[in-house]
Chain A
């Protein structure tokens, strides 16, 4: 039962962390797309069609980049873990 409790607490922590990171990513995306799509000089308070389209595409590209980097980092960390395990095994063997 203790292990179950641990995994519950861990799950809770992971969920909270995911939410926090999601919010952080959202904020960064907002800043990035604003910089890329909205020009410095404002003429109108309303968005032009070009700006609206730009925002759509910006969000799509950002999320795709986010996924791609996520996969790459997971692969890298798995590689790191494998090398660490190998080193540990070698050390234990010696």
Chain B
């Protein structure tokens, strides 16, 4: 398989080379040969042809190199652009996720604060406790653990069996 492929490449290379040969002949003939006084070309003309051939070959090599280089550069730039676009998309997605998480956390904190405020207003004993955010959260958790999980309205807290030791008795006694 690779042999035929190499063969084809070789054949194409040979064809290209012969095509180049014909192109150079035409080009240098047109440039160098102008007078037809004799059958064979003069010394000037032959030296001109030699120089022309070298020139054309160097031109062709440099030209081909520049072409390939330019193509590769364009390819690399295109790849860079797509990579940057993909990175931007990922960043935006992460931002959105972070925003959603922050909103959820803020919502939870607000609910905890509301619960703490409600419990403090209905039971004076509990209001005496230094209710900081952390303690409010603990209160919320115990309340949620003992109740069915729904957020009760203001004064009905007294009816919920609170699992804290002393405050329970004092709340119930206060309710009475």
Q: B121-135 interface mask toward A, CB cutoff 8 Å, 1 = contact, 0 = none?
A: 000000000000000
A53 to B29, CA, bound (A): 18
B19 within 8 A of A: yes
A31 to B29, CA, bound (A): 11
Given contacts A25-B22, A37-B36, A65-B29, contact A17 B41 (CB under 8 A): no
Considering the complex, which residues of chain A in the window 47-94 have a beta carbon less than 8 Å from any beta carbon of chain B? 53-54, 56-58, 60-62, 64-66, 68-70, 72-73, 76-77
A77 to B26, CA, bound (A): 20
The B interface is mostly helix, strand or loop, or mixed, namely helix
A28 to B23, CA, bound (A): 9
The A interface is mostly helix, strand or loop, or mixed, namely helix
A21 to B54, CA, bound (A): 21
Closest-CB distance, A9 to chain B (whole angstroms): 9
- Contacting pair A65 B41 (CB below 8 A): yes
A21 to B41, CA, bound (A): 23
A11 within 8 A of B: no
Closest-CB distance, B18 to chain A (whole angstroms): 5
Interface size on A, residues (CB 8 A): 31
- Contacting pair B21 A57 (CB below 8 A): no
Considering the complex, which residues of chain B in the window 104-118 have a beta carbon less than 8 Å from any beta carbon of chain A? none
Which positions in B face A, CB cutoff 8 Å? 11, 14-15, 17-22, 24-26, 28-30, 32-34, 36-41, 45-46, 49-50, 53-54, 57
Apart from A54-B36, A68-B49, A69-B53, list 11 A-B contacts with CB within 8 A.
A13-B11, A21-B19, A21-B22, A31-B26, A32-B26, A65-B33, A66-B25, A68-B46, A69-B25, A73-B20, A76-B57
